[in-house]
Structure 1
Amino acid sequence: MTAVPAPITAEQIEFAPYGEFESDCPARMGVDVFGNSWLPVVVYMLRDGPMRPSDLRAAIGGISQKMLTQTLRRMQRMTLIDRHRYAEAPPRVEYELTEAGRDLLIPIYALGDWVDKHGRAVGAGRMGPEPDDD
């Protein structure tokens, strides 16, 4: 099993200067990666090593074959996973995280920590009455 990295605090991170809200700001790409609800789930499921698509789909639950295929293709284009096709009968395909994909586990674990700390309050707030607009 892979060791879980220690959480990184905001004070430990130094970013290259970009103009505020620039269209080419690298943070937009990060938001886009997490904007796809299935991509972080697939990264997390691949954390222990290569998996076949059918095993991924069974482990994830709730994802359609079409959405899994689209997510895997997108991740491959983004160089987050490698696709390995084995010349067997029947052919076997496995997907494995690249270094960039493994590095995504850091913010995924951090998000999990945040949910552990604040998930109930945020969830309860989402179900409560809308705040008044002053």
Structure 2
Amino acid sequence: MPIKPDSAVTMEPYGEYEADCPAHLAVDLFGNRWLPVIVYTLREGPLRPVDLQRAIGGISQKMLTQTLRRMQRMGLLERRGYAEAPPRVEYELTRAGRDLLVPIDALGAWADRHGNTVRTALYGHDEDD
């Protein structure tokens, strides 16, 4: 008997194979280390790349640029350029990007509830000890 989480979502049939499941796309999104971090960082509104990099910490300029371009192609954010001297660029979440905040918040809540359990299982002790 399959285990269902407390708030399971029922989805329409998706095809003959498990790999056809639309949730596969969502797992791919969260497989990127920086994509959820960028979405979360942009939750309050648009930011310039230098401000994103400063707020995130630990991400190289090259990785930030690559991830922003990928997210733009995916329709998760919009790039706005301003004809100023010097030129200014900002990135802002689209509706699809903002909707990703729901599972990001859910994963954060899960990590808050179960992080110590996972750490204890992995390392044999509670990191707070």
Cα deviation for residue 121 of structure 1 reads 1.2
Cross-structure match for 1:26: 22
Q: Which residue of 1 aligns with 2:120?
A: 124
Secondary structure of the equivalent of 1:82?
strand
Which amino acid in structure 2 is aligned with residue 114 of structure 1?
Answer: W
Q: Unaligned stretches of 5+ in structure 2?
A: 1-5, 125-129
How far did residue 18 of structure 1 move? 2.3
Residue by residue over 1:49-97, the C-alpha shift from the partner in whole angstroms, topping out at 9 and shown as x without a partner, is: 0000000000000000011011101100110000000001110000000
Query: What is the aligned-residue identity percentage?
Result: 67
Between the two proteins, the alignment pairs up a number of residues equal to: 120
Pick from 55, 75, 84: which aligns with 2:51?
A: 55
Higher RCO (CA 8 Å, separation ≥ 6 residues): 1
1:19 deviates by 4.1
Could you say what secondary structure the match of 2:20 adopts?
coil
Q: Which residue number corresponds to residue 3 of structure 2?
A: none
Aligned to 1:46, which of 19, 33, 42? Answer: 42
With structure 1 as the length reference, what TM-score do the two structures score?
Answer: 0.84
Q: What is the aligned-residue RMSD (CA, Å)? A: 1.6
1:92 aligns with 2:80: no
- Unmatched tracts of structure 1, length 5 or more: 1-8, 129-134
